Structure 1
């Protein structure tokens, strides 16, 4: 199970801006992901939840609104997706209960 981000780091000015990244699944299983931020007031991530097909990729956009400069963190949680899952957010809630 492997999920990588390309580019692997996001640098957005404190004045605001956006950055596009590609989540790449190099494995043979469908993956499910959720992206978390240490600063939800100034960052918007689209999509927050999703699936990445085997040997596939998914584009994400990270947007920062203007705010005080500081170091923030984005974390991507991922796991093998349930075979019958069609709604990423609902599937993640089920996985968390296990």
Structure 2
């Protein structure tokens, strides 16, 4: 099971902006994920929870609000998805994360 981000890093103006990254599942099983941020004051991410199908992709929209210039990280925790999961949030809460993808974001 492998999850990667494309592109692997991003840059956004400190005055604010939006980035789009794709989560790519190169494995043969469905993955559930949760997104965390090192800076919840300036960043918003959609979706926070989600699924990535086998050999599939899911888009992440990362929005930065105006704030001081700094380096931040978006961390995507992931695990194999339970087969009978009714929602991504309940599925993620039922498993232990087995990996992370870190997306460094530079706000200048």
TM-score (ref. length: structure 1): 0.94
Q: Normalized per residue, which structure has more helix?
A: 1
Q: What is the match of residue 41 of structure 1?
A: 41
Displacement of 1:80 after TM fit?
A: 0.3
Extract structure 1 runs of 4+ deviating beyond 4 A: none
- Equivalent position of 2:51 in the other structure: 51
> How far apart in 2 are the matches of 1:30 and 1:11?
29
Would you say how many aligned residue pairs link Structure 1 and Structure 2?
Answer: 96
Does residue 27 (structure 1) correspond to residue 24 (structure 2)? The answer is: no
Q: Residues of 2 paired with 1:10 and 1:83: CA distance? A: 33
Write out per-residue CA displacement over residues 24-80 of structure 1, whole angstroms, 9 at most, x where no aligned residue. 101100000111001111100000100000011101100000001111111110010
Q: Secondary structure at the match of 2:76?
A: strand
Q: Which secondary structure state, in structure 2, belongs to the residue aligned with residue 20 of structure 1?
A: strand
Indicate the residue corresponding to 2:18 in structure 1: 18
Q: Please state which structure has a larger fraction of its residues in strand.
A: 2
Normalising by the residue count of structure 2, what TM-score does the alignment of the two structures yield? 0.85
Q: Give the Cα separation in 2 of the matches to 1:89 and 1:30.
A: 14
Instruction: Give the aligned CA root-mean-square deviation in angstroms.
Output: 0.9
